[in-house]
Amino acid sequence: MNNPDPIVPKKSALSLFSGESDESPFAIFAQMRAMGSVVSVPFPVAGADKQAWMVTRMEEAMRVLKDHARFTVDPSTIDGHGDIRQTLAGGNPDPSAPPTFFTGKSMLSVDEPDHRRLRGLVSKVFTPRYMEGLRPRVQEIADELLDRVQAQGEMDLVKDYAYPLPIHVISDMLGVPEADREQIHVWSAAIAHGLGLGRREPGVDEHLRAFGEYTAQLVADKRRRPADDLISRLIEMESEGDRLSEAELLSMITLLIFAGHETTSNLIATGAFTLLDHPGQLEKLKSDLSLVPSAVEELLRFNGPATIAGPRFATEDLELAGQAIKKGDIVIPVLKSANRDENQFTQPEELDITRTIHRHLAFGQGIHMCLGAPLARVEGDIAFTTLLRRLPNLRLNVPRESVAWSFTLSSQGITSLPVAF
């Protein structure tokens, strides 16, 4: 067996875990892949007597993500390890606060059979066919957003386009009133920036509580006045019996609101910056917009929204890529590293919008693969096609080095992207 002692520099590993670093992580990922497919790292919580591993290559990451018998997202199912999740969350939640996706039991934090039951409820709506049917509305939103700024000749691509497009789409689906969407953005940003593995910023609990209380009130309103939206349909399913508890309902809705816009906003903003940073690829795409679906897949591979998948916990002693993993060890698939695996991709550090991609892990894999992946693809397709068709002279309006990045929960994102056209 290989030496289990930490071999990744502590500062580098902890910055990836906690989000304390705003530097590009790809050089560290390349260094880690050179060390091995499964790399021992310092546990992300000081003083915790546990072993942590980062999975750096695609084959091994796929194994972890798909083998939910030996790698679980729910450490409470492992004898003596039920407290790990709250340790990783940076502390215990306020028991008096309404549940959210982060503090309650959502699809993210349970395995079978509960996961199948929860996911099955929303997957009846989140079908690829339904997502495709949203194209006219997504197109309408994209055009409305560009109508507001086109005459100005400049905009902040994050604030004016990448953020509002997906939040309007998911809010329309769920039945979130338009007047509430800006407040949801405030809560989501605070939660995304305030939480990380082993990190819980002061004040984030107040935002979680407010988000949970708002969702509980929204559900109460929908009970009194049902409408043709997803929240009303989930309430209807809840009333059928034991298929969905109140806590599960609130956790589910907060997850759909949060995940339904944060990750896609990141895809649009980071993808636009990546294209601007690769002018040859941008010109190729502008000259043939039929390449946009292929470009979206490459942008997801090259620098997708999520840096890591949610941590898994070994349910038994096992071996992975020559490393002895002990029962209860934390195992973290590094999606952005696996998506640049030299064993899977030719010149993986290069952006190639015409690349044939058989698979990538930007949306995860296995039973916890992102439910909204088809919607994200529809939104990405329309967002980039509309942006480049209507603003063909799009360019950065600030020096490249002044573009501001931030860490949001398990991803790096762009906080502001001033562009001119």
The tens-digit pLDDT sequence of the chain (421 residues) is 444 444 454 445 545 555 555 567 899 899 999 999 999 987 765 555 678 999 999 999 999 999 999 999 998 888 766 556 555 555 556 677 778 877 777 888 889 888 988 888 888 777 788 888 899 999 999 999 999 999 999 999 999 999 999 999 999 999 999 999 999 988 888 887 766 666 677 888 898 899 999 999 999 999 999 999 989 988 887 666 557 788 888 998 999 888 878 889 999 999 999 999 999 999 999 999 999 999 999 999 999 999 999 899 999 999 999 999 999 999 999 999 999 999 999 999 999 999 999 999 999 999 999 988 999 999 999 999 999 999 999 999 999 999 988 765 567 789 899 999 9
Q: Could you tell me if residue 288 is left (phi over 0), alpha (psi between -120 and 50 degrees) or otherwise beta? A: beta
| Nearest residue to 411 via CA among 334, 331, 299, 351 | 334
133: exposed, middle or buried (C-beta count within 10 Å: 0-12, 13-18, 19+)?
A: exposed
Residues 6+ away with beta carbon under 8 Å from 217: none
The whole-angstrom separation of Cα 156 and Cα 229 is 31
At residue 413, the pLDDT reads 83
pLDDT digits (tens, 9 = 90+) for 360-402: 999 999 999 998 899 999 999 999 999 999 999 999 999 999 9
313: β partners:
72, 330
At 419, phi and psi to the nearest 5? -130, 160
* Element housing 408 (H / E): strand 404-408
Global pTM? 0.90
Q: Which residues contact 358 (CB under 8 A, 6 or more apart)?
A: none
Q: Write the Ramachandran bin of 97: left for phi over 0, alpha for psi from -120 to 50, otherwise beta.
A: beta
Structure tokens, 319:
């071996």
Q: Which residue has the tokens 């998948």?
A: 309
Query: Angle 93-70-127 (CA atoms, 0-180°, nearest 5)?
Result: 70
* Model confidence pLDDT, tens digit, residues 253-275: 999 888 878 889 999 999 999 99
What confidence score (pLDDT) does residue 21 get?
53
Q: Report the half-sphere exposure of 37 (CA within 13 A, side-chain side).
A: 18
Q: What is the DSSP letter of 346?
A: S
Query: Could you count the other beta carbons within 10 Å of the beta carbon of residue 217?
Result: 11
**Res 129: pLDDT:** 85
CATH class of 10-420: mainly alpha
Beta strands in 142-285 (DSSP E): 154-156, 195-196, 199-200
